[in-house]
């Protein structure tokens, strides 16, 4: 969106001014970064422009914060770093965004053109390094190309299947005089979607007796939550979400049955195994969903709608594969299903019956000290508007399973890359995007320590982020695998950490330690009522496990469902 509130009466005189104006013309408000020698000209120009820069404490955190901002808003996130180690520190964040289809633009400084290729101080080939996990990378050596290249980077990042784009700018190019050089969009808006394949997909959905709608992150990326709900309600078909699809469909809706895969609900995995149609939209059949592919949904026809055509048939061969944006595709399908129908009431009843044992186990655990009770307490204290950002590990699975997500796009996590250390900086991006809404982090005692330094950034900006550390003294998910498959040989998984209550105080923040026997609900309410950032350190059972669990190479119907099984 063009920024009309701020315009210069003169053309950019230097490359760094062209960069700033391009950011403004893209509607950028926040950028997350860390300065250094090769990006210094850009930082010198920055104070003259109404751009809100957030100084992080590590460049990886800049990428994750931009990622969180992008996931929360649907807009392109922006991160900035200098050359050499500054650029290399962005790598994990860029790979995280690429795996989860998150639109980012990363701006990196580079050594001056005369020094390139000579192993100069803080020189790295950031283009070559990031090509495998960016959507596109630019090295801008012509100052006149800076403005249009920056604009093009944003368009590439958000178009089609979103992803990260890197713009590497030599220091002397930032200093150099340049012309504005204009900007032309890459392509016109797409025509309204119509396809015989979508009509055929609608017919399959109408005729199926045991269908499931499998909704992924593409629903959120395309803003198709309403269309998804209409499709489910018009057909009566149960809805399953992927891990990244969680919160694309309200979990208190009677047609929502959960999420599947390695640690998903056993009842959902069995439903997939028994289904006769999987109507998959905006997802890529990740291996954590499918288990053994040759045994996945053996009796089901598969409709696969995905914006990236390279995903069609890559893992699971679809009966009908359609390369299309989720929102446009679902609207077209709905046009072929104008009359409501419900031919799968018996199927829903069968699924509901299979869910009863899970619900009983969950209900019996709600009063016990542990993850289920903690998740329920956070939801009760924070309310319906809460956005939950999780790290990676056992706690991530517990949050996905036991926190009821009813607000759209309220679940933010690292899925494809499984990046520990993601949650705290990503929550900063979410908090900058929605400063008046409650933001909670749920992390393990392993992952939280990977970017714990960002508490300083959170303090400096007064961000209202609440942090729940599920502290079991282990790298919990790895320990769980060691328990099941390595005879409890807990090699390098016990882990120590600080006293989080004292650590919070050292940053001028509030904290509290919570142990078995303490009032979980009171502690969470106390945290929610405090101004600014609060850390709650929940000491939980060191050998608590996530169930079910599908061993590697097994199908979704071959699960470990309880201790000793």
Mean pLDDT of 79-83: 97
Neighbour tally for 163: CB within 10 Å: 23
Residue 121 annotated as catalytic: yes
What is the four-CA torsion angle of 365, 371, 376, 380, rounded to 10 degrees? 140
Please determine, for residue 15, whether its predicted confidence score (pLDDT) is greater than 50. Answer: yes
Of all helices (H) and strands (E), which one includes residue 211? strand 211-215
Mean pLDDT of 284-300: 91
Please determine, for residue 441, whether its predicted confidence score (pLDDT) is greater than 60. Answer: yes
pLDDT at 563: 66
pLDDT at 341: 81
Residue 122 annotated as catalytic: yes
Angle at the Cα of 128 from the Cα atoms of 122 and 130, rounded to 5 degrees: 90
Each residue's pLDDT tens digit, 142-198: 999 999 999 999 999 999 999 999 999 999 999 999 986 677 666 655 556 778 999
Among residues 283, 375, 397, 477, the one annotated as catalytic is 477
Two tokens, residue 416: 């494809």
Q: How far apart are CA 308 and CA 279, in angstroms?
A: 16
Evaluate whether 389 touches 430 at the Cβ level (below 8 Å). Answer: yes
Q: Which residues contact 13 (CB under 8 A, 6 or more apart)?
A: 177, 178
Among residues 21, 110, 154, 171, the one annotated as catalytic is 171
Of all helices (H) and strands (E), which one includes residue 534? strand 534-539
pTM score: 0.94
Percentage of the residues of the chain whose pLDDT score is greater than 90: 85
Domains of the chain as residue ranges with CATH = 15-175 (3.40.50.970), 196-350 (3.40.50.1220), 371-539 (3.40.50.970)
Distance between start and end Cα atoms, the chain = 55
Each residue's pLDDT tens digit, 445-488: 999 999 999 999 999 999 999 999 999 999 999 999 999 999 99
Each residue's pLDDT tens digit, 304-337: 999 999 999 999 999 999 999 999 999 999 999 9
Each residue's pLDDT tens digit, 252-268: 999 999 999 889 999 99
Please determine, for residue 137, whether its predicted confidence score (pLDDT) is greater than 90. Answer: yes
Confidence band, pLDDT 50/70/90 cuts, at residue 7: very low
pLDDT at 191: 57
Residue 477 annotated as catalytic: yes
Cα 138 off chain centre by = 25
Mean per-residue pLDDT of the chain: 93
pLDDT at 186: 63
Q: How far apart are CA 5 and CA 446, in angstroms?
A: 45
Please determine, for residue 10, whether its predicted confidence score (pLDDT) is greater than 70. Answer: no
Confidence band, pLDDT 50/70/90 cuts, at residue 9: very low
Of all helices (H) and strands (E), which one includes residue 306? strand 301-306
| Helices then strands, each counted (H, E), the chain | 22, 18
Residue that the structure tokens 């149609």 belong to: 277
Residue 412 dihedral angles phi and psi, to the nearest 5°: -125, 125
Q: How far apart are CA 328 and CA 423, in angstroms?
A: 32
pLDDT at 8: 43
Percentage of the residues of the chain whose pLDDT score is greater than 70: 95
Confidence band, pLDDT 50/70/90 cuts, at residue 532: very high
Please determine, for residue 502, whether its predicted confidence score (pLDDT) is greater than 80. Answer: yes
Residue 233 annotated as catalytic: no
32-41, 69-78, 284-293: least confidently modelled range:
284-293
Strand, helix or coil for residue 54: strand
Among residues 122, 355, 396, 480, the one annotated as catalytic is 122
pLDDT at 562: 75
Q: Which residues contact 80 (CB under 8 A, 6 or more apart)?
A: 31, 32, 33, 34, 35, 39, 42, 53, 62, 106, 107, 108
pLDDT at 188: 54
Query: 173 to each of 36, 69, 113, 144, 177, how far by Cα in Å?
Result: 16, 29, 8, 9, 8
Q: How far apart are CA 426 and CA 491, in angstroms?
A: 30
Its sign, for the CA torsion 197, 203, 204, 205, is positive
Each residue's pLDDT tens digit, 214-273: 999 999 999 999 999 999 999 999 999 999 999 999 999 999 999 998 899 999 999 999
Q: Which one, of 484, 503, 483, 502, lies nearest residue 493 by Cα?
A: 483
Q: How far apart are CA 459 and CA 449, in angstroms?
A: 17
pLDDT at 189: 54
pLDDT at 179: 82
19-28, 356-365, 396-405, 538-547: least confidently modelled range:
356-365
Q: How far apart are CA 140 and CA 42, in angstroms?
A: 14
Among residues 17, 59, 311, 358, the one annotated as catalytic is 59
Residue 139 dihedral angles phi and psi, to the nearest 5°: -110, 115
Confidence band, pLDDT 50/70/90 cuts, at residue 338: confident
Residue 32 annotated as catalytic: no
Among residues 121, 194, 209, 484, the one annotated as catalytic is 121
Confidence band, pLDDT 50/70/90 cuts, at residue 5: very low
Q: Give the single-character DSSP code of 549.
A: B
pLDDT at 413: 98
Q: Which one, of 521, 414, 544, lies nearest residue 468 by Cα?
A: 521
pLDDT at 119: 84
The full 3-state SS of 220-266, as one line of letters, equals: HHHCCHHHHHHHHHHHCCCEEECCCCCCCCCCCCCCEEECCCCCCCH
Evaluate whether 434 touches 387 at the Cβ level (below 8 Å). Answer: yes
pLDDT at 564: 54
Query: 382 to each of 18, 388, 405, how far by Cα in Å?
Result: 43, 10, 12
């Amino acid at each position: 969106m063009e920024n009309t509130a701020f315009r210069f009466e003169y053309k950019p005189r230097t490359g760094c001014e062209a960069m700033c104006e391009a950011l403004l013309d893209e509607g950028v408000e926040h950028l997350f970064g860390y300065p250094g020698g090769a990006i210094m000209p850009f930082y010198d120009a920055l104070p003259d422009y109404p751009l809100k820069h957030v100084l992080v404490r590590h460049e990886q955190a800049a990428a994750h914060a931009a990622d969180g901002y992008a996931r929360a808003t649907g807009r392109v996130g922006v991160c900035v770093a200098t050359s050499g180690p500054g650029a290399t520190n962005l790598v994990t964040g860029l790979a995280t965004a690429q795996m989860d289809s998150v639109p980012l633009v990363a701006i990196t400084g580079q050594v001056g053109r005369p020094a390139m290729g000579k192993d100069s101080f803080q020189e790295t080939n950031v283009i070559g390094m990031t090509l495998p996990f960016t959507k596109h990378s630019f090295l801008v050596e012509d100052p006149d190309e800076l403005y249009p290249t920056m604009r093009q980077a944003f368009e590439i990042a958000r178009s089609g299947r979103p992803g990260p784009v890197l713009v590497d700018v030599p220091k002397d190019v930032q200093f150099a005089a340049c012309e504005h050089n204009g900007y032309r969009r890459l392509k016109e808006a797409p025509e309204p979607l119509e396809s015989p394949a979508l009509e055929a997909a609608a017919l399959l959905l109408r005729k199926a007796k045991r269908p499931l709608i499998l909704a992924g992150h593409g629903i959120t990326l395309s803003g198709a939550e309403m269309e998804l709900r209409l499709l489910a309600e018009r057909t009566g078909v149960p809805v399953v979400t992927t891990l990244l699809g969680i919160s694309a469909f309200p979990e208190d809706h009677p047609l929502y049955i959960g999420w599947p895969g390695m640690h998903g609900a056993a009842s959902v995995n069995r439903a997939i195994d028994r289904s006769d149609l999987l109507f998959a939209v905006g997802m890529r059949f990740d291996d954590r969903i499918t288990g053994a592919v040759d045994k996945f949904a053996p009796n089901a026809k598969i409709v696969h709608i995905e914006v990236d055509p390279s995903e069609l048939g890559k893992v699971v061969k679809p009966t009908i594969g359609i390369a299309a944006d989720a929102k446009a595709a679902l609207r077209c399908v709905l046009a072929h299903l104008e009359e409501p129908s419900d031919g799968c009431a018996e199927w829903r009843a069968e699924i509901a019956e299979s869910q009863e044992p899970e619900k009983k186990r969950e209900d019996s655990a709600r009063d016990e000290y542990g993850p289920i009770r903690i998740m329920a307490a956070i939801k009760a204290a924070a309310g319906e508007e809460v956005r939950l950002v999780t790290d990676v590990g056992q706690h991530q699975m517990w949050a996905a399973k036991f926190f009821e997500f009813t607000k759209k796009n309220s679940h933010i996590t690292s899925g494809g890359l499984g990046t520990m250390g993601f949650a705290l900086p990503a929550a900063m991006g979410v908090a900058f995007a929605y400063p008046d809404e409650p933001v909670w982090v749920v992390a393990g005692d392993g992952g939280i320590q990977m970017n714990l330094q960002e508490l300083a950034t959170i303090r400096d900006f007064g961000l209202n982020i609440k942090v729940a550390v599920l502290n079991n003294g282990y790298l919990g998910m790895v320990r769980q695998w060691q328990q099941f498959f390595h005879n409890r040989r807990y090699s390098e998984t016990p882990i120590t950490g600080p006293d989080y209550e004292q650590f919070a105080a050292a940053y001028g923040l509030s904290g509290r330690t919570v142990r078995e026997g303490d009032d979980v609900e009171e502690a969470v309410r106390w945290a929610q009522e405090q101004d600014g950032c609060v850390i709650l350190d929940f000491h939980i059972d060191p050998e608590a496990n996530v169930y079910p669990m599908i061993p590697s190479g097994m199908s979704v119907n071959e699960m470990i469902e309880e201790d000793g099984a």
